[in-house]
Structure 1
Amino acid sequence: MIDDRPVLDDHLHLDPDNNRGIDAVRDFARVGGTHLLVVNKPSWHLGVEAETGEDFRAVFDRTIEIVDDASSELAGRAWPVLGVHPGLISRLVDERGMSPADARDLMQAGLDVAAEYVESGEALALKSGRPHYEVEDDVWAASNAVMRHAFEHGAALECAVQLHAEASEDMTEVAEWAEDAGLPSRRVVKHYAGGRLEGPTPSVMSNKDRLETAAERGEPFLMETDYIDDPDRPGAVLGPKTVPRRVRWLLENGHEEAVRIAHVETPRRVYGIDTEATLERDG
């Protein structure tokens, strides 16, 4: 812990079967990290080439097992975020020859299964989004339909939806789609965000310049590394020690309120979690 504070990494991946797994969690905890939101890796990275929504269940079950193991290493706890990576649509269309409509239906079916885990209390939130790269118009339309399907589940379950999407400082249209579905825009989280974002809640990549921008704005934000736990890319995107180290840096630079916003207030506002009550403090 850092001065008895909760320290949350809002988005990272763990892969104990192929890379560091729990050792990365121990690194995070050793430098003061207390809470994690663990997002399932893309299904094909775990050897799952889904043909039905049920095929994603193996990915989700393994992620939940990993989260349980991670929680045992933390002064706080970890939660799973489950869903279908938006990049899957390109794999389905370009490599497996599916139509965009069939790919959309399969990805929506995967989200239907992920939603079951949220409904049962086994997962905290959903993951969806759209490609962050150029795609054909019909693929873009199908991707937006998948994302809006996730918003419908989020509204029904009253849970957050993390988005993997293109870099932008203005995603008000996407936030409006969520609102139209009945999901408050604060519960839409833009993963890999910069320090400034209109519409969804930004989950800010923990580079100093992005964090300084977010801290100075005084608006709700979260902090993340998007650590991918890939043996071919060690330390990518940011290492697991980064968020606690950046919290110390923010505190040293007078941003105590920003630290509270990112690690206490925004997690409660977005996910309904209490990072203070779930923190085991000595004495």
Structure 2
Amino acid sequence: MDELDTPVLDNHLHLDPEHGRGMDAVRDFVRLGGTHLLVVNKPSWHLGPVPSERADFRTAFEATIDAVADANEILPGKAWPVLGVHPGLISHLVDEGYEPAEARDLMQSGLDLAAEYVADGPALGLKTGRPHYEVSDAVWDASNAVLKHGLGLGAEHDCAVQLHTEGTDDLTEVAEWAEARGLPTEKVVKHYAGGELAGPTPSVMSEKDRLRVAVESGEPFLMETDFVDDPDRPGAVLGPKTVPRRVRWLLEAGHDDAVARAHVETPELVYGIDTVGTLDSGE
């Protein structure tokens, strides 16, 4: 297969070398032309007990950092960790007897720990959000408090914040929360987005219909698979070969400008990363 003459970034996927495909998934990505990865920690309860204190989040964070180090031995470009707290954790905590406010405080402490990894260097950004399913008003309010805390940490550490939220094409209110805390809107990224989004930067699920909309919008966007690397869910979401395949499809259709937007310009805008420079130098 011909090489792709462009960096190819998957903006959101998971790697689990202990339980899943791990580096075999990275090799698949590279074989199809992939070059760069943003690796998000799996939900903490997938890698051990439901956290009961701040230090418990470290297990998922360290596993992700180790996976990124291994991926960097394989990639022609570079991988970076994105660390944080999955918003679905609040439901697990409430089920175990936590009050929503107690769950909020624990999740915010997990984000504080993730932010230390950003401040110290290994992590590129943070991940937070709110449930994408129906919850009580108290859980919704607590979840929004966690989300706002994450946005504040992003402003404090000048880093991007990836969001897991309900399906929507309008998150202007969340963008306003970010701006109020000093985090530029473009540094807020909606993971699992459609092709167009009011407010934050969309990280578009790499399905053709969504990508067509993103291309036509002319706006900044990223591409992702949300590959979960879970042997119990082998067909879940999209596989690691998908982003390079979709890039090839876009290039064949003459959408070179859109490919540059998603894989060079928007990563620089959102994260301050140079996908061309890291590809050339192998840094």
TM value normalised by structure 2: 0.98
Aligned to 1:88: 89
Structure 1 residues without counterparts, runs of 5 or longer: none
- 1:274 maps onto 2:274 in alignment: yes
Alpha-carbon RMSD across the aligned residues, in angstroms, is: 1.1
Q: Which runs of 4+ in 1 moved over 6 A?
A: none
Distance 1:103 1:207 in 2: 35
Aligned to 2:53: 52
- 1:182-193 pair list within 5 angstroms: 182-193=182-193
The structural deviation recorded for 1:198 is: 0.3
Structure 2 residues without counterparts, runs of 5 or longer: none
- 1:10-64 residue CA offsets vs partner (Å, 9 max, x unmatched): 0000111111000000000000000000000000000132111111112111110
The structural deviation recorded for 1:281 is: 7.3
Contact 2:50–2:92, Cα closer than 8 Å, also in 1: no
- SS state of the match for residue 276, structure 1? helix
- SS state of the match for residue 277, structure 1? helix
Distance 1:196 1:242 in 2: 20
Distance 2:3 2:249 in 1: 11
Give the counterpart letter for 1:197 in structure 2: L
Aligned to 1:12: 13
The farther-off stretch of 195-204 and 272-281 is 272-281
- 1:55-84 residue CA offsets vs partner (Å, 9 max, x unmatched): 111211111000000111100010000000
Distance 1:125 1:66 in 2: 16
**Identity, % of aligned positions:** 70
Give the counterpart letter for 2:34 in structure 1: G
Distance 2:202 2:54 in 1: 29
Aligned to 1:218: 218
Contact 1:2–1:248, Cα closer than 8 Å, also in 2: no
Distance 2:224 2:214 in 1: 13
The number of residues matched between the two structures is: 281
- 1:121 maps onto 2:103 in alignment: no
Give the counterpart letter for 1:71 in structure 2: N
The structural deviation recorded for 1:178 is: 0.5
- 1:83-111 residue CA offsets vs partner (Å, 9 max, x unmatched): 000000000002x1100000000000000
Give the counterpart letter for 1:84 in structure 2: V
Aligned to 1:135: 135
Distance 1:181 1:2 in 2: 43
Aligned to 1:261: 261
Contact 1:169–1:194, Cα closer than 8 Å, also in 2: yes
Distance 1:281 1:119 in 2: 24
